[in-house]
Amino acid sequence: MKLKLSSTQLGSIFALCAAFLFSTKAIFIKQTYALSPLVDGTVLMALRMVSALPFFVLICWLNRHRNKNIPIKDWMLLILAGLIGYYFSSWLDFTGLMYISASLERIILFLYPTLTVIASSVIYKQALSFKSIFAITLSYGGTVIVMLQEQSTVPHEGDFWLGVSLVFASAISFASYLLLTPRLIQKFGSWNFSGLALSIACLGTFTHFIIATPNPMSLLNQLPSEVIWYGIALGLFVTVLPTILIAQSISRLGAAQSSMIGSIGPILTIMLAVAFLGEHMNAIQWFGCLLNIIGVMMVTLSKKKLAH
């Protein structure tokens, strides 16, 4: 007897798989850093993007018919969105992971929906509701609990706060990108926009790598083969594949339900970090993590209701 999945079931499976693959990102990055002192955020970003670029170029080619009669202003906003969302934000995140745990990184990044709500409130001069303020307080309070617990165990406090600052700046950068996307997706189409924005991010990453690295080819030749394979895995399995899966999930479930399923991401990252990186979270940190997730999901769901 054949097992036939409904569209909702299939969308849920896609969302779970995407959440799992996204959750492996910090694990791959931390493991790669441990392989060679030559690897930093810039090098690893370049390896990731060179692996993913052919896929994004293909998307651009297949959707090239959608690029007609689009004003130059929208093209400039697209370039800005690509550089902010998938180049600068990612570079900040990759670099921040050199100084803090994968678990804390995921919890800080998970704050980005709260940042979009706060920014929208300021831009449109709308007061936040009590429920939103409570949810934001909950999420940041939980994050601070996890942060302070980890800070008390690190040997170099300065490096720790540098890592926290970089990852939080990454969340701000990604939230800024999300504020730009609705209008651009309407203009370019969702697949075309993703392909173009990510291709631009790849070019930004390559430019940064070439400028920051005196002899790029010599450096790449010195890297262990395992580093190259991790870079490819980051490009294909942590960037390309989950991008496809989440798009398929949203088309079947809608953004709100896909976001709900994706909220399992921080838990998955922490579990993977415990299993593969030897990280440890005490009961107080788990409590903080739970507060973070509850607060962010309250904000996300209220935002979706407003959008409808």
For residue 243, what pLDDT band results from cuts at 50, 70 and 90? confident
Mean pLDDT of the region 162-187: 92
Which one-letter DSSP state was computed for residue 127? P
277: amino acid identity, one letter: L
141-144 — which CB contacts under 8 Å span 24+ positions?
A: 141/288, 141/291, 141/295, 142/107, 142/287, 142/288, 142/289, 142/290, 142/291, 142/292, 142/293, 142/294, 142/295, 143/107, 143/108, 143/111, 143/288, 143/292, 144/288
Give the residue from 85, 87, 109 showing the smallest Cα distance to 97: 109
The two three-digit tokens of residue 4, written as one number? 């036939």
Q: How do the residues of the chain divide into helix, strand and coil, expressed in percent and rounded to 5?
A: 85, 0, 15
For residue 249, what pLDDT band results from cuts at 50, 70 and 90? confident
More confident residue, 105 or 2: 105
Spatial separation of the C-alpha atoms in residues 52 and 191, rounded to whole Å: 15
Put residue 125 in one of left, alpha, beta given phi > 0 → left and psi -120 to 50 → alpha.
left
Q: At what angle do helices 102-109 and 265-272 cross, to 10 degrees?
A: 170
Mean pLDDT of the region 145-159: 87
Which one-letter DSSP state was computed for residue 129? P
Encode pLDDT of 14-41 as tens digits.
989 999 999 999 999 999 999 999 999 9
Encode pLDDT of 35-71 as tens digits.
999 999 999 999 999 999 999 999 999 999 999 889 9
More confident residue, 254 or 242: 242
Q: What's the pLDDT at 3?
A: 63
Q: What's the pLDDT at 185?
A: 87
Mean pLDDT value across the chain: 90
For residue 2, what pLDDT band results from cuts at 50, 70 and 90? low
**143-147, 227-231, 254-258, 295-299: which has the minimum mean pLDDT?**
254-258
Encode pLDDT of 213-236 as tens digits.
989 889 989 999 999 999 999 999
Residue labelled with tokens 């800080």: 108
Encode pLDDT of 73-127 as tens digits.
999 999 999 999 999 999 999 999 999 999 999 999 999 989 988 998 888 888 8
Put residue 237 in one of left, alpha, beta given phi > 0 → left and psi -120 to 50 → alpha.
alpha
Mean pLDDT of the region 294-305: 78
More confident residue, 157 or 293: 293
**6-20, 185-199, 292-306: which has the minimum mean pLDDT?**
292-306
* Domain map (residue ranges) of the chain: 9-307
Spatial separation of the C-alpha atoms in residues 228 and 232, rounded to whole Å: 6
The two three-digit tokens of residue 301, written as one number? 């769901």
